[in-house]
């Protein structure tokens, strides 16, 4: 019974939203206007137009959506007609004939209003849950506290990555102040090695993976300045190879992940000029495949994770013209499966983490409107643990911090209400990126 009442309330909500909605183009949301706007014209174009335009439909209940809907909709005519016919004097004991007449009118009205809405979209909105934001905050804080849990022990060597996932999620949810900033920063500084690079935890070996996480977490707290930027950037510069590629550490593994990390990290440190950017771009382009995607090394299979790295690095380096946007956009949008979730390559299972890798890439190449965003929102929401918080890879699986971050970050890219917008290239909240590049210090 309660469920039935909720559904009826939902239908009424949808009808009201539909009535006040503008019929033509949805409003451009300024909240998501992009930080790279001034640096990369093609990339920023994607976000300032189609991203904000097409994404508005995902969150019809967002305040900005309602606030901007001022022009008259043709559907309001129905509302006015109906209201005009409403009896001015309320009958205390109306006759059966009166009720039948009214029932007929209500049915007629409902059909007129609801018919133009795609039925699948209507049903999807009715089925969609809500983001359990408070529960996710509690979950992240609890993981950080349980230092001897299985999850913490197996993640011991990559704790700095975990800190980046957890703290960025908290920031997107507007709850970064739930952690002790001083504790976090003093621990991060203890993870720095003599080489200038950072390890995943105190006493471990440095690697670019953790160096980026350290710099990103410090950026969240507006504390990048406490670093010796030259020392950190020299560590990264020393990892560039002759062909423009990057190794992850002194042991020499090469991967386009490390090209992204080097470019992103140096850009945040404002030291991009210390590497050979043209050669770095040339190497990334050599990893491009005939399907428009990118792999780990030249000839490596296209994978959504590597595509994010290559497209993100090219976006930051201002070299997105090397991407065949239609071809890659086609490959990326084919990652959406029936459930609405995205996979990382053909014939694979969907996973919440690809809501980040695929979606951010689609946004950077201005093709995000090629996937069904409503269905993706529903898929992510279905992966939540509604009792204890956290998000898993697929519905009903065990949650972890990694998927909680990618679920929340994916919803942020989809402009889910109440979340801070996140930058698709730097993987940091837009206000943090703006602070790095546009604040006067």
User: Which C-beta is closer to ligand GRG: that of 344 or that of 389?
Assistant: 344
Residues 6 or more apart in contact with residue 398 via CB below 8 angstroms: 392
Around 321, how many Cα atoms within 13 Å sit in the side-chain half-sphere? Answer: 4
Min separation Cβ 240 and ligand GRG, Å: 17
Min separation Cβ 430 and ligand GRG, Å: 15
139 token code pair: 């979950």
Q: Does 165 help bind ligand GRG (rule: CB under 6 A)? A: no
Tell me if residue 60 falls in helix, strand or coil. Answer: coil
Judged by CB under 6 A, which of 136, 207, 345, 378 binds ligand GRG? Answer: 345
**Backbone phi, psi, residue 376, to 5°:** -70, -40
CB-CB contact of 21 with 56 (8 Å): no
Report how far apart, in Å, the C-alpha atoms of 340 and of each of 374, 391, 417, 418 are: 8, 16, 19, 22
Site for ligand GRG in 277-336 (CB under 6 A): 305-306, 308-309
Site for ligand GRG in 369-428 (CB under 6 A): 427
**Backbone phi, psi, residue 192, to 5°:** -80, 140
CA–CA dist 179, 162 (Å, integer) = 14
Ranked by CB distance to ligand GRG, the top (closest) residue is 305
**Backbone phi, psi, residue 426, to 5°:** -85, -10
Min separation Cβ 53 and ligand GRG, Å: 25
Judged by CB under 6 A, which of 138, 223, 279, 348 binds ligand GRG? Answer: 348
Convert residues 197-216 into a mask of x (bound to ligand GRG by CB under 6 A) and - (unbound): ------------x-------
Q: Does 361 help bind ligand GRG (rule: CB under 6 A)? A: no
User: Which C-beta is closer to ligand GRG: that of 368 or that of 409?
Assistant: 409
User: Which C-beta is closer to ligand GRG: that of 56 or that of 412?
Assistant: 412
Tell me if residue 145 falls in helix, strand or coil. Answer: helix
User: Which C-beta is closer to ligand GRG: that of 34 or that of 257?
Assistant: 257
Return the bridge partners of 429, or none: 422
CB-CB contact of 383 with 398 (8 Å): no
Min separation Cβ 383 and ligand GRG, Å: 14
Min separation Cβ 44 and ligand GRG, Å: 20
Tell me if residue 416 falls in helix, strand or coil. Answer: coil
Judged by CB under 6 A, which of 20, 36, 353, 362 binds ligand GRG? Answer: 353
User: Which C-beta is closer to ligand GRG: that of 60 or that of 295?
Assistant: 295
CB-CB contact of 357 with 308 (8 Å): yes
Q: Does 351 help bind ligand GRG (rule: CB under 6 A)? A: yes
DSSP 63-74: HHHHHT--SPPT
Size of the site for ligand GRG (CB under 6 A): 16
Intra-chain end-to-end CA distance of the chain, in Å: 59
Judged by CB under 6 A, which of 113, 155, 163, 261 binds ligand GRG? Answer: 261
Binding-site ranges for ligand GRG (CB under 6 A): 209, 257, 260-261, 305-306, 308-309, 343-345, 348, 351, 353, 357, 427
């Amino acid at each position: 019974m309660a469920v039935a009442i909720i559904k009826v309330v939902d239908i009424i909500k949808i009808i009201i939203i539909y009535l006040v909605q503008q019929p033509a183009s949805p409003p451009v949301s300024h909240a998501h206007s992009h930080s790279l706007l001034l640096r990369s014209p093609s990339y920023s174009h994607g976000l300032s137009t189609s991203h904000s335009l097409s994404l508005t439909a995902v969150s019809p209940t967002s305040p900005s959506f309602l606030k901007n809907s001022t022009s008259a909709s043709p559907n309001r005519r129905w509302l006015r007609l109906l209201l005009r016919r409403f009896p001015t004097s309320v009958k205390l004991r109306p006759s059966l004939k009166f009720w039948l007449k009214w029932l007929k009118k209500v049915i007629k009205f409902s059909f007129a209003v609801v018919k133009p809405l795609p039925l699948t979209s209507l049903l999807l909105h009715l089925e969609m849950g809500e983001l359990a934001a408070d529960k996710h905050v509690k979950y992240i804080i609890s993981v950080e506290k349980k230092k001897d849990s299985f999850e913490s022990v197996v993640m011991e060597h990559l704790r700095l990555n975990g800190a980046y996932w957890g703290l960025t999620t908290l920031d997107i949810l507007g709850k970064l102040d739930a952690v002790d900033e001083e504790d976090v920063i003093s621990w991060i500084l203890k993870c720095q090695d003599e080489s200038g690079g950072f390890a995943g935890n105190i006493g471990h070996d440095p690697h670019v993976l953790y160096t980026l996480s350290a710099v990103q977490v410090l950026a969240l707290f507006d504390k990048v300045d406490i670093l010796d930027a030259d020392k950190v950037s020299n560590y990264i510069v020393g990892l560039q190879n002759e062909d423009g590629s990057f190794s992850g550490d002194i042991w020499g593994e090469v991967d386009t992940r490390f090209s992204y990390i080097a470019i992103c990290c140096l850009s945040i440190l404002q030291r991009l000029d210390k590497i050979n950017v043209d050669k770095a771009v040339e190497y990334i382009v050599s990893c491009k495949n005939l399907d428009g995607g990118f792999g780990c090394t030249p000839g490596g299979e296209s994978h959504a994770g590597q595509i994010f790295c290559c497209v993100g690095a090219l976006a930051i380096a201002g070299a997105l013209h090397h991407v065949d946007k239609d071809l890659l956009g086609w490959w990326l949008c084919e990652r959406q499966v029936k459930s609405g979730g995205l996979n990382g390559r053909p014939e694979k299972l969907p996973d919440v983490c690809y809501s980040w890798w695929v979606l951010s890439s689609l946004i950077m190449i201005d093709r995000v409107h090629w996937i069904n965003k409503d269905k993706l929102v529903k898929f992510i929401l279905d992966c939540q643990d509604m009792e204890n918080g956290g998000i898993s890879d697929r519905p009903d699986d065990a949650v972890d911090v990694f998927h909680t971050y990618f679920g929340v970050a994916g919803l942020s890219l989809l402009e889910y209400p109440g979340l801070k917008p996140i930058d698709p290239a730097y993987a940091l909240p837009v206000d943090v990126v703006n602070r790095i590049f546009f604040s006067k210090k």
